[in-house]
Amino acid sequence: MIKMCKNKIRLVGGLWVFLAVLLLANVVLLCGETAAQTPDKVFDVRQYGAKGDGKTLDTEAIQKALDECGQAGGGIVLLTAGTYLSKPIVLRSKTTLQLDEGAKLQAITNHADFMKTPGDWLSAKGGSDFIPFISGKDLTDVTIIGKGTIDGNGEVWWGPAEEARRKTPGYTLPRPNLIVLTRCKNVRLENITLQNSPKFHFVPTDCDGVVVSNVTVLAPAGAPNSDAIDPSRCRNVLITKCHIDVGDDNIAIKSGRKVNGREFASENITVTDCVFLHGHGMSIGSETTGGVRNLTVRNCTFEGTENGIRIKSARGKGGVVENLIYSNITMKNVDPAITFTCYYMNNSAKDPVQRSAPKEDAAQAVTEVTPIYRNIRISNLTATCERAAGIIIGLPESMISDVVLDNVRISASSGLTIRNAKGIKLKNVQIETKQGQPFILENAEVEGLETAER
């Protein structure tokens, strides 16, 4: 009898504990819902003195709004319609920079304001001598959104840079970038327009968790080194539904050095449903020393682009590039469709002076900075090319390996050159040429040539 009572007491006690836990969970849930519904605090830059009239320098007001937003634990720094002229500004954690439709945040044209040590900018030794228009370091939860525009006023920088490039093909005259975020987590750019950067537009560096969605990036086709989006040593990146029309790489994944504790500095990157117009294509490199792996590119279109899909590196700048998937790609008037080269000479197809891979080259010792490309799949690609279909060219000591072309259709003036490569497989591939053979092979092991459509 006593034992039964004890069991009932335990049961009743357990029931009360269960009910208490359930009640507490509901309270937490309700509190969470209430918190989620609480609107972020808004820091309107006009309330801090910004004019947005295209004449007044609004840097101080914008930076004060950003600082107070960060100090308050986060919120929205708002730019309503208008043109806000500014010197470089710095973002803060848990901050959303929102540019409403009709709002333009525009860099001023004074070169000295973008130099760490003001002086003759043409004598700068490197990019590190300059301050980005928008920057942030060691931040979390950074967002730039809205239907507005961030404009770098790059025209005041491009002329000398183009002149320098023509004198020395491939040379990049140091200049500031538009947006650089370094060692940040949870970065998001959405619906915004970036345009006319002095050099690269958006450079997330050593970041984890980057989403770029429905972003438009614009620069004149002749704007030198005006890369659109350049993730550098980043992980877990999504670039989707972007419209890119620039003067250099549309997207360039960079990996210029090793990162402690990570086998690959750049990894887990997805590019989907993007439109590439003028520019140098969907690139990896030229810096690949830190390694690149797990890239997926799908459902993208290229039109009038100087390159389609491209991997570019060279001895002394290389590393392992592996596990790449390109699928459902449509190209029109690209030049060429595929460029995988270990002889990148820091020049583009339309430079006035061209250098190419040597016809004869002796194998060298493999080192940590030897380019290695492997495990690449290209499927469901159609392209028309003004000149060559493309190149897959490795090194005699480091052959490009394990590449599958599946359901690929390319129409070009000349064929696809495959050199210093092994494990290349062709499945349902057709390359139509106006002259010469569709496949030009040199020291290459290619499977499926006998069944490839010609």
Closest CA to 179 of 188, 168, 167: 188
Q: What angle do CA 25, 27, 31 make, to 5 degrees?
A: 115
Q: Is 111 a catalytic residue?
A: no
Is 390:440 a contact under the CB 8 Å cutoff? Answer: no
Distances (CA, A) of 239 to 17, 87, 190, 211, 282: 48, 28, 10, 6, 12
Residue recorded with tokens 């480091």: 398
User: Catalytic site residue 280?
Assistant: yes
Buried b (16+ CB within 10 A) or exposed e, 151-180: bbbbeebbeebbeebeeeeeebbbbbbbbb
Encoded tokens for 317: 């700048």
Q: Which listed residue (230, 248, 249, 335) is catalytic?
A: 248
The H or E element spanning position 71 is helix 59-71
Which DSSP letter does residue 401 get? E
The catalytically annotated residue of 111, 201, 278, 280 is: 280
Query: Using CA atoms, how far apart are residues 264 and 258, in angstroms rounded to an integer?
Result: 7
Q: In 3-state terms, what secondary structure has residue 63?
A: helix
Among left, alpha and beta (phi > 0; psi -120 to 50; other), residue 191 is: left
Please report where in the chains the tokens 């720094």 appear, as a residue: 77
Smallest Cα–Cα separation from 88: which of 63, 125, 68? 63
CA distance linking residue 376 with residue 268, whole number of Å: 15
SS in 3 state form for 110-176? CHHHHECCCCCHHHCCCHHHECCCEEEECCEEEEEECCCEEECCCHHHHHHHHHHHHHCCCCCCCCC
Supply the residues annotated as catalytic. Answer: 248, 280
